Structure 1
């Protein structure tokens, strides 16, 4: 029974990784080359939160994507998204949950590659009691 569960998990994990890779390729190819088609990737009532600004629904999404600048900050560079979460306590305050996303970009040096932060987004995750 344990072998079957492990095999099912591996199958599901592999499927999720393939779907994620395919989605990322489609998403960024579309936003770079066919921006007018971006809304087809979203449900009719989808919500996008971009730098804290909420965009709801197909019409608003279409206007939003049309208004974006053409170039990306790390275009044609190798990038990695690192997602972290946990708890943190600052100077005698209570522990708080947080999540943080780093967009790292590879900087080619003469003898190595150095990863530098292109974007850093830190958020506390506070829940009502």
Structure 2
């Protein structure tokens, strides 16, 4: 399988999993990050899994609607199994809590392959705006 097809398939699966969990089981999201993952949410840096978990638990309930996404393989990050990282850009609308309106959002996520685990990935970088 070539890099582009793998990036497309992996991104589609990731986006479904990520936003479904974000909206229904946010406590599971921490499993997708590592201690040194870089997270920036609306200009606020969050570091470490403990701080990320606490931050996510303080956010109100959400409903994400994905409008479009694009992904690019990052060939320079290929692991020993021939799997490379993926850069994903997502655009959509999100509704928080009881707020009547939706807000547009943009999110850029860099996925890196977990060494020795085929096409399993972790979030190296996550920027939400």
What TM-score do the two structures reach when normalised by structure 1?
Answer: 0.52
Question: Which is bigger in relative contact order (C-alpha 8 A, separation at least 6)?
Answer: 2
Which of 79, 86, 92 lines up with 2:67 in the alignment? Answer: 79
Alpha-carbon distance in structure 2 between the residues aligned to 1:31 and 1:67: 13
Alpha-carbon distance in structure 2 between the residues aligned to 1:42 and 1:62: 10
1:48 deviates by: 0.6
Which of 104, 111, 121 lines up with 1:118 in the alignment? Answer: 104
Secondary structure, aligned partner of 2:62: coil
RMSD: 3.0
1:71 deviates by: 2.2
Aligned to 1:31: 22
What are the superposed Cα offsets for residues 12-62 of structure 1, whole Å, 9 maximum, x if unpaired?
110010011111111101111111111101012212101110000100000
- Give the number of the structure whose residues are more often strand, by fraction: 2
Ranges in structure 1 where 5+ consecutive residues have no aligned partner: 1-9, 83-100, 106-116, 122-129
Ranges in structure 2 where 5+ consecutive residues have no aligned partner: 71-88, 94-102, 108-129
Task: Answer whether contact 1:79 1:103 (CA < 8 A) is retained.
Answer: yes
Task: Answer whether contact 2:22 2:62 (CA < 8 A) is retained.
Answer: no
What TM-score do the two structures reach when normalised by structure 2?
Answer: 0.52
Aligned positions, number: 81
Q: If you compute each CA radius of gyration, which structure gives the higher value, 1 or 2?
A: 1
Task: Answer whether contact 2:26 2:56 (CA < 8 A) is retained.
Answer: yes
